[in-house]
Amino acid sequence: MPKLISGFSKLNKQEKIQWLASNFLKENVNASEILSLYWNSDQQLQQLHDDFIENTISNYYMPFGIAPNFVINGKHYTIPMAIEESSVVAAASLVAKFWSDKGGFKAEVLNTVKVGQVHFMYDGDQESLLDYFKSKKEDLYTVTDAITKNMRKRGGGILDIELRNKTDELANYYQLHVTFETKDSMGANFINSCLEAMAQEFKKEDIQIVMSILSNYVPDCVVRAEVSCEVEKLHPTDGALFAHKMMQAVAIANVEPHRAVTHNKGIMNGIDAVVIATGNDFRAIEAGVHAYAAKSGNYKSLTACKVENGIFTFSIEVPLALGTVGGLTSTHPLSKLSLEMLDNPSAKELMQIIAVAGLAQNYAALRALTTTGIQEGHMKMHLVNILNQLEANQQEKEEVTQKLKGKVVSYSGVAETLKKIRA
């Protein structure tokens, strides 16, 4: 049984790998050989990657692709996507091209307010607490002056500070609920620094500060995107039937949580891929988006679909707290390249682009589900992964692909076809 280790972080990379191999890997697994394949030969660049997190032993690669032909608010984009799932980039590209001659995507940012909170306990007179808050409110702004100075120059900063009574939900629980504008920065460190300064200023003997932290639930940092066209342009044979089935699909996601989760997961295929490519925090985005989908008390679709006066409209409204300066966006070479590819957008512009990516992905998924089914296209894209798992050489890949052309792809079917070829 492996022993606990002290001082692991002080070991160099090779020593960490040796410890891992000795304690957790089989003897026939050459960890050093596998991991070294993904080290960058540029030592400075490798050191940059090593410094992103702790105890690094290698880099973990994901495919980095591009989806061309997006037209958003009249501007042409090629969107970077970092994702491992087959068919996502292809689906986004196809949908982008489909809508490019129908006016493209329209997007607008509805608001950019972000939230942070100082959580505290107080077992005393509520009026006295309110009086104390009123007496300290200006001081709470003042104590953050040094932190907010540069942000205020860019038009951001602290918008408001509220005292919220939450004692009906938890005994003695109150909070300072603080709203922020962080402009092109995602603002996590900025918000947390402000909150901690406020907590130090606000605390006193009968106020127990529990924690000070930003919230990843940002229902007032929201972007909307949509596409629309005449119903008859939706489908080559029956646009009205197609539109009807699309509306039914969204309606089902609004009443059936089992479907809604998968429906929204498809949206996140598009959103996360661009969030990761641009060096933003996809875990924060995921948490906030799914909370937003449940804001009514029931988990529902993030997209909406309607037909009015013969016009089909497909739209999304989603919270996205993003940054285009600071953090990984300013240090990771591929994140910087992704933003350059997008013409170095502001945070608001990036919100619009990413919302469109999610909308396009959902449209592609629903179009497949309500017509040919999801597996036909997905498994075609997945064919190369199956062939790689079966260790097919290039000639075998070409023969299998040719034999399965026009057929539904399945793992067992690919394996059987490859077996016959090899026989």
Beta-carbon contacts of residue 402 (< 8 Å; ≥ 6 apart): none
Give the C-alpha separation, 203 to 346, whole Å.
37
Among candidate residues 119, 378, 380, 382, the one labeled active-site is: 378
Phi, psi (degrees; rounded to nearest 5) at 226: -155, 160
101 is catalytic: no
Give the C-alpha separation, 114 to 219, whole Å.
8
Which residue(s) pair with 318 in the sheet? Answer: 223
85 is catalytic: yes
CA atoms within 13 Å, Cβ hemisphere of 182: 29
Among candidate residues 97, 102, 244, 265, the one labeled active-site is: 265
What tokens does 209 get? 């500060």
201 is catalytic: no
What tokens does 146 get? 């040094």
Of 335, 237, 212, 318, residue with least CA distance to 277: 335
Is residue 384 a contact partner of residue 90, using CB atoms and an 8 Å limit?
no
Among candidate residues 281, 300, 380, 382, the one labeled active-site is: 281
258 is catalytic: no
Of 187, 180, 203, residue with least CA distance to 117: 180
Distances 191 to 117, 271, 293, 344, 389 between C-alpha atoms, Å = 9, 24, 24, 24, 46
Among candidate residues 85, 108, 232, 317, the one labeled active-site is: 85
- Give catalytic residues, as residue numbers: 85, 265, 281, 378
